[in-house]
Amino acid sequence: MSNLRIITGKYLEEKLKRGYRLMYFLNVTGCSEEELMEHIDRNFSSKAAKAYKKRLKSKSTLHKKSKNTINEMPEEVKLEMVENIETTSECEVPEKTALELLLEKETLLSNALCGEEVLRSDKISRRAVLKNKLKEQHQQMKELTEQILQLQADFETTVSEWTSIGNEMKELSAQIAQKRTLLDAVRSEIDSLKKISIFVYSNGEIEFENQGSFDPTVDSSKVNEIFGNLIQNEAAECLTIKNIKQLAKLLAIVEKLKAEGLKFVIEFDEPTMKEVFDVSQ
């Protein structure tokens, strides 16, 4: 009697992920392929059903496609089939006699037992191989012990050399720190002698060259204050609001440059903006 009630989404996902495929589900449920597919169509959306069917018929990762007999199934599959037969006999009206069910159970258990005996024979053979391997490894360990003694002597020599180099590194680190301090001082002096080049473009961009450590960020409230003054200046009437805001920011940057005592030169790509800037300082 079929046991399709166990075929739920959770059950399918769990078994498919573990590598079980169509023949496993047919053996476990005791149904035909057609009955299984109809059950999936009835209980899942068309998209999900299509995906499950495709995965069920894909290549199994548990055993070869060409052999689907009970003897070649993993032991856990055989035992699960036995458990499902018991569950079916308890929860549903049986179509087979008690003797038939017991004979089926006997066959499954007998096959499972044969499989376990084969596994045990395999383990006995493997253990004999491991015994010989242990002998070889024991000899290797003996040889390694001698090598370790030599390595220990080499290690002590290396540690001595490492300590000596460490002391030399400390001296070099002190010299490097001293030279870095001197280099920073020289660079600072170079920056103070360099002029910062400011390029003002009519598209609203302001670029800097040789700005060194100077930060052109200015307070927005200061820029707004300058903008308020510029917007009332008749000379700025020929400029767009965007360009007036740009000049306001530039004037704020110039104030900051002067406050920090930095030298600078300004280049405009629009003569009109230069004229307004000159009269606004």
Torsion of CA 163, 167, 169, 172, to 10 degrees: -170
Residue 223 confidence class, pLDDT cut points 50, 70, 90: very high
pLDDT at 218: 93
pLDDT at 210: 86
- Do residues 75 and 112 touch, judged by C-beta distance below 8 A? yes
Residue 123, amino acid: K
What number of other Cβ atoms are within 10 A of residue 19's Cβ?
13
Question: Is residue 246 predicted with pLDDT exceeding 90?
Answer: yes
Strand order across the beta sheet in which 206-209 lies = 206-209, 196-200, 264-268
Residue 62 confidence class, pLDDT cut points 50, 70, 90: low
Residue 108, amino acid: L
Average pLDDT of the segment spanning 178-198 = 82
Q: What mean pLDDT is reported for the chain? A: 83
Q: How far apart are CA 253 and CA 193, in angstroms?
A: 19
pLDDT at 268: 94
Taking the CA of residue 207 as centre, how many other CA atoms within 13 Å lie in the half-sphere pointing to its CB? 8
Dihedral pair phi/psi, residue 174, rounded to 5°: -65, -40
Dihedral pair phi/psi, residue 218, rounded to 5°: -125, 160
pLDDT at 101: 83
Q: Per the structure block, which two tokens stand in for 21?
A: 């495929």
Q: Between these two residues, 121 and 180, which has the higher pLDDT value? A: 180
User: Following DSSP, what letter does each residue of 91-144 receive, concatenated?
Assistant: HS--SS-HHHHHHHHHHHHHHHHHHHHHHHHHHHHHHHHHHHHHHHHHHHHHHH
User: Which residues, 6+ apart, have CB-to-CB distance to 152 below 8 Å?
Assistant: none
Residue 112, amino acid: A
pLDDT at 33: 92
Percent pLDDT > 70 in the chain is 85
pLDDT at 134: 92
pLDDT at 61: 59
pLDDT at 96: 66
Q: Would you give the distance in Å from CA 154 to the centre of its chain?
A: 42
Tens digit of each residue's pLDDT (9 = 90 or more) over 72-129? 445 544 454 444 444 443 434 345 688 778 888 888 887 788 788 888 888 898 998 9
Question: Is residue 52 predicted with pLDDT exceeding 70?
Answer: yes
Residue 2 confidence class, pLDDT cut points 50, 70, 90: low
Q: Is the dihedral of CA 13, 17, 20, 22 positive or negative?
A: positive
Q: Between these two residues, 72 and 240, which has the higher pLDDT value? A: 240
Average pLDDT of the segment spanning 194-214 = 89
Instruction: Determine the Cα angle at 88 with ends 85 and 89, to 5°.
Output: 85
Q: How far apart are CA 165 and CA 175, in angstroms?
A: 15
Question: Is residue 252 predicted with pLDDT exceeding 90?
Answer: yes
Question: Is residue 261 predicted with pLDDT exceeding 90?
Answer: no
Question: Is residue 266 predicted with pLDDT exceeding 80?
Answer: yes
pLDDT at 243: 93
pLDDT at 87: 43
Q: How far apart are CA 276 and CA 158, in angstroms?
A: 74
Beta bridge partner(s), residue 265: 197
What number of other Cβ atoms are within 10 A of residue 255's Cβ?
14
Q: Between these two residues, 240 and 64, which has the higher pLDDT value? A: 240
Instruction: Determine the Cα angle at 28 with ends 75 and 18, to 5°.
Output: 60
Q: How far apart are CA 173 and CA 179, in angstroms?
A: 10
Residue 191 confidence class, pLDDT cut points 50, 70, 90: low
Q: Where are the domains of the chain?
A: 4-95, 194-280
